[in-house]
Chain A
Amino acid sequence: MMDKTEKFVPEKLNDVVDEMNTCTACATCLVTCDVFQVLQWDSSSPRGRVQLAYGLYKGEIEPDNSVLTRMYQCTMCGRCVQECPSSVRLTDIFDAARHDLYEAGYRLENYEKFSNKILTEGNPYNGEEPRWKIFGREPKERAEVAYFMGCKIAFKEREMGEATIGLLEHLGVDYTLLDETCCGAPLVNAGVSDDEIRKIAERNVEEIAKRGVKKVIFSCPSCMMSFKDVYSKFMDLPFELQHEVEFFQDYDIELKHTGEKVTYHDPCHLGRHYGIYDEPRELIARIPDIDFVEMENSRENASCCGAGGSMKLADKELGVKIGKNRVEEAAGRTIITACPNCKNNLKISGRVKSVSEILYENLKK
């Protein structure tokens, strides 16, 4: 934790007081919380985090390292919000608490380093080359479609990007890559101020809008969420937003046979957040003879991959453990998913491909 720079003053927490009061502490959220199921300390449960947020709001606790760690040991998967019988918007409470902590200078070191890198370098992974250059495709001046690939694809999961680009080109889509900067999702997770995130939003939106783009497609549900839920608070977006699994649905894709045994992991931000459950499954089912079986916990009940909410910055071991539990559910099948963050964490313990990858490798060319 950084040195205490200011006394903690609730700001956004003031806006969620009713939410905190509405929580009856019934503990329903403990049952489905992947973090709590691993750690087993009540303070690591959604209910516990609401109580910590409340303690901060009331000035009853010091925002020390233990409080910070618990507040960030959360994948923001949204399962607790879905399950809450009192309809408490728990993740709004966590967002508010993180924001107020960060603003007051109470920061976990990893989050601060990661955020500062994004703010100064445009990505958190020491990436120096522009993303279009990595993939050898210069941005077009005008295009119908823009592919916003996000930092994870550009610097960590390039095969996913290559598959998406390969599919776009195979299908003859008039698309362009972008001179993009980080979407800002990790900054939101850290609690960085709206002013900083607005600057990022303005830069990315301008970069896309100047190319006359009608539709932006994403491989990363969290990038899409930044545009849909965060940027839209600051400005009207002059283009449509789609995840690639929605986009590719509209195309006839000729695919060859594979008998691969697969299952599908629902990314929290794609499934639970936007209700996109059928589209990826429909695309997978187009592959002739593919051997598809659902995991025990799927769709609305899907567990998190363990990497959501930038949680591994707070507790890497916890994120890996949650990912391992998810991989065990796949029982040896290849996990197909539709998010580079999910792929990145699940592949630590299992075999993982994106929807775009399995489509691309089975293209009849």
Chain B
Amino acid sequence: MSESTVAPQHAQTPPAPPRPGDLTDQLIASDFWTEQMLVDAGIPIIDVPFVTVGGGIGSFVTADYLRICGVPTDAIRVLTPLKHPWESYEYLTTVSQIPRGERLRSDSSSTPDNIWGFPSYALREGLHGNLKQLWNVLVEPIWANYYTPKAGHAFESMEKEMHRIRYQEMVVHGQVRMVRRRVGGGYFTILTPPEGAAATRRIAYRSQWVHIAIGYPGLKFLPDLQKYRSEYNDYSRVVNAYEPHEHIYERLKLRPGVILIRGGGIVASRVLQRLIDDRDRLGLQTQIVHLFRTYVDTPHGNGIFKRRKGADGWAYQGFNYPKSVWGGQLKQQVRKSEGQERATLYKEMGGTNTPVRRDWQEQLKRGRAQGWYRVMIGQIDNMRPVGELVEVAVSSNQGPQLGTFDAVIDCTGLEADIREHRVLADLLDHSNAQRNPVGRLDVGRNFEVTGAQNGGKMYASGSSTLGGPFPGVDTFFGLQIAAQEIADDLIKQGFAKKLGPGRSTSQWWKWVRNKTI
């Protein structure tokens, strides 16, 4: 069970001697809390109207939106173990081979530092003299691959916006343990501050609104990988691409090796690029076997209006959803759908996919021609260490296959069940939160957590809400769309000022001038 986002934590609380102000059995067992129960436990109560839990990019864009809608810093608290909002995200992108200088898989106008998406990243690069990027967004995706921003560009611009909106004044470091409903309305959010930071072990934040943005509930490994690790206690030769695995690339520099890659998504593309870049740059002799469970060799889909491109094993798509989920036809269609109809829409646009990029196409084409990149279709049955290698048994479309590899890099899946996260499990058990048709946290069109209303409202955004009336939740722009829906709902309740054309334009002008608000 994890307590927080997947990146290494700074505010982990090691086992400590009993300190005053800890949770009691009565608190843990009760769905609704009173002030007296907290007073009896010695837990101090801090009042703030709006609390956001997580402190990653989801919390950041929501706080950004609310600040632009005139909410003062003292009305918002960001409860987080992270040093800055992009820390967890940057950890994941870096280990999965997107360091700051590489480009993300994100649209030019998905700008978490700017709620208007204007100027877009490409326009900003253009204004700094990189006219090639402007040309790219003009002709994409017809005569160029989609433009995407450099990871570093996204992080640096978020940092600038973080200072502009005085985000750090709203941050309280620590680990959120749970959110419970308050008798009489609103919520209590229990924070465990870092050791030595507070006089008590826990602090309660009493608020009318709570926003849950804790990111991925945790890493999920396929059963064969878990079995290999528990049986052979080897964490070095069989890795998931979202774990640090630089040692594999380092070992290949010392001696030639054969690598098995599993998966057909963006991470597989990135890992292949890294292996082939190293091969080209350092003259390595790395051999690659790529295992696809589902091999896509033609355009696919239901009927002529729903054909997604595909070739050489991969399903091709610019971003992780068809683009119109972020504002157009598909967004509208899913928003209006319920139950089975929605599940069908998700299924139609689902499936692992990766973008077409010219450099990747060239590398794999060369690998196929020269024989150092081979493809297999099937599933892993078993893995076992043999000397310094890993022996992998595969059920393939050509029958059973057995091969030995220097390393296996699993590039599949990422997300664990929401119950794996302590805060979400607590919401399911004690706050009447519900699961949506795909098993994640159920939210309404305004991103309110279904069933958890209690005078105030509880909102949630990000990957834990996938499967709701808006599909692109786990993306930069998706988080901003959620922030907009949440802000609109809070505006209706009088917490924030309406963002009409006048306010929107004047606030944008402040953004342009980098004026602190």
A binds B: no
